[in-house]
Structure 1
Amino acid sequence: MRKNIIYRTALIAVLTALACVLRLWLVALPNVKPITAMFLAFALVLGLTDSLWIMALTMLATGLILGFSPLVAGQIIVYALIIMLFKSLAQLTANLGILSLLTALSAMLYGCLISVFSGLLYGFGPGGFLAYWLAGLPFDLAHALSTFIFFPIVMLILKQIKTRH
């Protein structure tokens, strides 16, 4: 039992560090990052709880480096909702193509929900929210496309690791 807890804790720590490094390494490319694909793949391969821990720790750690604000709490909340929704919907299929498409849709939903959170946080009215969301749409599309591309790669790597251990 104790060995399992130590292994899980170490795995969460290593994968959190990897997600942080990848997020920071690609900071110059807005919304082109593998972390959303990673969080969603972790939910499928490692389980919902571990994925949520990795996501929350990643967002907190990178928030401290990139600039900590109340928006980090919004990122954690919205990511948690997206991961739980994805995990629920992913149970309907094992097809990697459909799952990849679902990750892209999840990334788009993340963009919309984080815009809602930002709008509430900064006091935008309904018209202001729409303008804010539309202005960020190219970033959301880049996020969706990169998540769609990264997801099968992450899944392949995780399946290789899982079969070896």
Structure 2
Amino acid sequence: MRKKLVYRLALIAILAALSCVLRIAFVDFPNVKPITAMFFAFALWIGLWDSIAIMGLTMLLTGILLGFSPIVFGQIFVYAIIIAFFKAIGKLTKNVFVLSISAGFLAFVFGALIDVLSGLMYGFGTGGYIAYWIAGLPFDTAHAISTLIFYPIVIMILGRIKALQ
């Protein structure tokens, strides 16, 4: 029992560290990062709560390194929601193509929800939010496309790791 807990905590710490390194490594490419695909894959590979723990640690730690603002808490909240949705989709299908499309779509939803939170936080009215959302569409689209592309790669890597266990 104790050995399993230590293994689980170590796995969460290692995967959070990897996610932080990859988020920082891709910092020059706005919204093109493998971490969203990784969080989704982790939800199916090791479980929803562990994936949310990895995501929370990643967002807090990289927020400290890259610039912390209240929106980091919004990102954690929205990520938790879309990871839970992805886990539910993963229970319905194991088809990598369907899961990749779902990952891309949910990454796009993430951007829209973050725009809503940002609009509320910074006091934009309805018209302001729409303008804010439209201005962010290229970034949300880059995030969605990169997540769609990274997801099958992450799944392939995790499949090889699982085969070694």
Deviation at 1:89, TM superposition (A): 1.7
Q: Does 1:75 align with 2:75?
A: yes
Q: Does 1:127 align with 2:127?
A: yes
Instruction: Give the Cα separation in 2 of the matches to 1:89 and 1:124.
Output: 33
Q: Does 1:140 align with 2:140?
A: yes
Matches within 5 A, 1:9-20: 9-20=9-20
- The aligned residue for residue 32 of structure 1 is 32
**Counterpart of 2:92 in 1: which secondary structure?**
coil
- The aligned residue for residue 109 of structure 2 is 109
Matches within 5 A, 1:56-95: 56-95=56-95
Deviation at 1:64, TM superposition (A): 0.2
Deviations 1:77-105 (A, max 9, x none): 00000000111122111110000000000
Counterpart AA for 1:16 = A
Instruction: Give the Cα separation in 1 of the matches to 2:140 and 2:18.
Output: 23
Q: Return 5+ residue gaps in structure 1 as ranges.
A: none
Instruction: Give the Cα separation in 2 of the matches to 1:120 and 1:29.
Output: 26
Instruction: Give the Cα separation in 2 of the matches to 1:162 and 1:47.
Output: 14
Instruction: Give the Cα separation in 2 of the matches to 1:96 and 1:131.
Output: 35
Deviations 1:32-76 (A, max 9, x none): 000000000000011001100000000000000011110000000
Deviation at 1:163, TM superposition (A): 1.9
Counterpart AA for 2:2 = R
Q: Does 1:54 align with 2:54?
A: yes
Instruction: Give the Cα separation in 2 of the matches to 1:128 and 1:89.
Output: 33
Q: How many residue pairs align between the two structures?
A: 165
Instruction: Give the Cα separation in 1 of the matches to 2:121 and 2:5.
Output: 38
Instruction: Give the Cα separation in 2 of the matches to 1:73 and 1:152.
Output: 28
**Counterpart of 1:39 in 2: which secondary structure?**
helix
**Counterpart of 2:100 in 1: which secondary structure?**
helix
Deviation at 1:20, TM superposition (A): 0.3
Q: Return 5+ residue gaps in structure 2 as ranges.
A: none
Identity of matched residues, %: 61
**Alignment RMSD:** 0.6
